[in-house]
Amino acid sequence: MRCDQTPAWAQLLSSAEAFAGFDLRQAFAQDAGRAAYFSQEAPGVFADLSKNHWDANVQTQLLDLLDQTGVLAQRDRMFQGQAINNTEDRAVMHWLLRHPEDGATFWPSSMRTALKDVHLTLNAMLAFAEQVRSNSQITDVVNIGIGGSDLGPQMAVLAMQAYAQTGKRFHFISNVDGHELDAVLRGLKAHSTMFLVASKTFTTLETMTNALSAKRWFEAQGGTDVSAHFAALTTNVEAAAKFGIETCFGFWDWVGGRYSLWSAIGLPLAMATGSENFRAFLAGGHAMDQHFQSADAPQNLPIRLGLLDVWYRNFLNYTSRCLAPYHSALKRFPAYLQQLEMESNGKQVDRAGQRLHFGTAPVLWGEPGTNGQHAFFQMLHQGSDVVPLEFVAVKNAVHPLPDHQALLLSNALAQAQALMLGQTDAGGHKNFPGNRPSSFIVLEDLTPFNLGALIALQEHRVFVSGAVWGINSFDQWGVELGKVLAKDIHARLISGNAQGLDASTAQLLKRLR
């Protein structure tokens, strides 16, 4: 049933009205069990969701909404390999990429075959990663890709820097803006560089333009052995071969771009950290898959987070969520999650193409703490809008510097506390309203396993809100129009033909020629 037609939706609407007077300070004062009730252990991750604007009654109604919208059946369809990406008639099986070699006995043979292929490719890709790792001649690895073919590996290589082999530098080129590639190429030598052309489709304008320029640069530098210095990570093996790349690691159309870090797209991570760590990363993701599939809904962390997201978006009308990782190696995590959530759930029609009359994906944004505290936290504390904040803290640091970690963690805790408690007796400019919501996610250590679990948690949480809303979280038609128009404008920018353009575009075209 469509979510806004369910009895639970109506109940949640009246709960939201009653929630106008809800105050976190009172909620904690009245209920000694609140912190425990709204906390959740999951593989690799602990989450305290108690400083949020909800109570047990709301959570129960949200769980009813989950039932009434058939989210669990949809989850099961994903894990059965059904074509739940209905607009592209594709299965959604990124989870299979992190599944151990033995499939379940009840699986159809097509899924067993897919799993076999996954492991064959994984083994080949990891062998290649080890080969490059042990080749001391290669000092620089350049990943050329954009969107899911960039944000995932870039975020993860940085996150796992403590596990990375020294002596190799990793560069990520995504933008068609030549300044980016040019700046990197200036510091490279052809004989010591390995280029990875990462593109699910192998047609993306930015990636193809950058790959071609990289190849031209390589040849101009005297590089002759393209096959030894270029590898492709793609579902389009044919196009990679046409481009002249022989070393190719494939994946499948049932892996969405923003879900592809677990596939050959993860090669930079495997090269940086080695096969054992890459396998641990996959194991963390798999452990979260099992939790999502088997934990009862009230104790299921992706479900609880996904439902909280729906409550905030549709009932309390919070239109954005801020993410603050208190670990500098998680610097790119907000950018990665932006694509994951906003490209998945930024839609206004349901799976059947019918217009939806309620909000879907919130705006997701953020920066690492403590940096954000000295920039936009002002608005979180005293601004006119309520923006739920999600902290991600890592208990143990790996650097040897004294004092820093305790200062970092106390800042995270203090910010969550300040948001909630506020300061209502200071008057005027010094007044903090308090009662501002936040979630607090804790990892014991930033290990490959825990990172895998954290990412899979976010994938499933996005799945849950998308499934409640009844949208297809696995297509991205909204990126197509701009691509088509850019082709036309490109020709016009070269020819100067502004005929038929609106006055603003025509004027800007003229100015930019």
To the nearest whole angstrom, how small is the minimum distance from the Cβ of residue 144 to ligand F6P? 10
Distance CA 168, CA 272 (A): 8
By the 8 A CB rule, do 300 and 159 touch?
no
Site string for ligand F6P, 226-255 (x = CB under 6 A): ------------------------------
- Taking CB under 6 A as the binding criterion, the range among 142-150, 168-176, 433-441, 467-475 that sits at the site for ligand F6P is 142-150
Contact 89, 118 (CB under 8 A): no
Q: Quick check: 485 binds ligand F6P (CB under 6 A)?
A: no
Least distance from C-beta 203 to ligand F6P, angstroms? 7
Choice among 179, 357, 374, 399 that is catalytic: 374
CA distance 435 to 421: 6
Rounded to the nearest 5°, which phi and psi values hold at 109?
-65, -30
- DSSP-assigned letter for residue 165: P
Minimum distance of ligand F6P from residue 93's CB (angstroms): 16
Of 341, 343, 367, 459, which one is the catalytic site residue?
A: 343
Least Å distance, CB 258 to ligand F6P, is 5
Q: How far apart are CA 293 and CA 500, in angstroms?
A: 54
- Nearest approach, Cβ of residue 147 and ligand F6P (Å): 3
Least distance in angstroms from the C-beta of 202 to ligand F6P: 7
Pick from 146, 188, 248, 387 the residue near ligand F6P by CB under 6 A. Answer: 146
* Residue 362 touches ligand F6P, criterion: CB under 6 A: no
Under the binding rule (CB under 6 A), the answer on residue 152 touching ligand F6P is no
Quote the CA–CA distance of 233 and 200 in Å, as a whole number.
Answer: 7
* 492 contacts 371 by C-beta, under 8 angstroms: no
Structure token pair of residue 218:
């390589």
Burial status of residue 456 (CB atoms within 10 A of its CB: 0-12, 13-18, 19 or more): buried
Stretch of 70-78, 147-155, 281-289, 417-425 contacting ligand F6P, by CB under 6 A: 147-155
**Rounded-to-integer distance, Cα 378 and Cα 375, Å:** 7
343 assigned to active site: yes
Q: Closer to ligand F6P at the Cβ: 402 or 482? A: 482
Q: Are 363 and 320 in contact (CB under 8 A)?
A: yes
Q: Beta partners for 195?
A: 142, 230
Under rule CB under 6 A, residue 344 binds ligand F6P:
no
Of 145-153, 246-254, 272-280, 289-297, which part binds ligand F6P (CB under 6 A)?
Answer: 145-153
Q: Could you tell me the two tokens for 185? A: 């190429």
Q: Tokens 């020819």 appear where? A: 495
Query: Contact between 476 and ligand F6P (CB under 6 A)?
Result: yes
Q: Which is nearer to ligand F6P, 48 or 475 (CB)?
A: 475
- Nearest distance from C-beta of residue 283 to ligand F6P, angstroms: 24
By the rule CB under 6 A, 147 interacts with ligand F6P: yes
| Identified binder of ligand F6P from the candidate list 56, 363, 398, 479, rule CB under 6 A | 479
Q: Which is nearer to ligand F6P, 383 or 478 (CB)?
A: 478
CB of 476 to ligand F6P, least distance (A): 5
For residue 370, say if its preceding peptide bond is cis, omega within 30 degrees of 0.
yes
In the bound state with ligand F6P, the residue whose beta carbon lies nearer, of 237 and 421, is 237
Q: Closer to ligand F6P at the Cβ: 199 or 275? A: 199
- Asked if residues 350 and 470 have their Cβ atoms less than 8 Å apart, the reply is yes
Contact 393, 412 (CB under 8 A): yes
Three-state DSSP class for residue 263: coil
Report the alpha-carbon distance of residue 346 to residue 245 in Å, rounded: 35
Exactly one of 51, 258, 304, 436 binds ligand F6P (CB under 6 A); which one?
258
Please tell me the chain's helix, strand, coil percentages from 3-state DSSP, rounded to the nearest 5: 55, 10, 30
| Contact stretch for ligand F6P (CB under 6 A) within 178-186, 196-204, 300-308, 424-432 | 196-204
Q: Which is nearer to ligand F6P, 145 or 285 (CB)?
A: 145
Chosen residue from 174, 204, 373, 472 binding ligand F6P by CB under 6 A: 204
Contacts of 339 (CB under 8 A, 6+ apart): 147, 148, 151, 258
Look up 483 and say whether it is catalytic. yes
- Helix H, strand E, coil C: the string for 493-508 is HHHCCCCCCCHHHHHH
- Extract the tokens encoding 350: 């349901």
Round to whole Å and give the CA distance between 153 and 130: 17
Could you say whether residue 75 binds ligand F6P (CB under 6 A)? Answer: no
Is 199 a binding residue for ligand F6P by CB under 6 A? The answer is yes
Longest CA–CA separation in the chain, Å: 73
Q: How many residues contact ligand F6P, by CB under 6 A?
A: 14
- Find the shortest distance in angstroms from Cβ 239 to ligand F6P: 10
Piece of 6-14, 144-152, 323-331, 464-472 that binds ligand F6P (CB under 6 A):
144-152
Q: At what angle do helices 275-294 and 448-469 cross, to 10 degrees?
A: 40
DSSP for 140-208, please give it. EEEEE--GGGTHHHHHHHHHTGGGSPTT-EEEEE--S-HHHHHHHHTT--GGGEEEEEE-SSS--HHHH
Q: Please identify which residue in 39, 60, 86, 201 interacts with ligand F6P, judged by CB under 6 A.
A: 201
Decide: is 207 part of the binding site for ligand F6P (CB under 6 A): yes
> Which residues contribute to the site for ligand F6P (CB under 6 A)?
146-149, 199-201, 204, 207, 257-258, 343, 476, 479
Residues serving a catalytic function are: 343, 374, 483
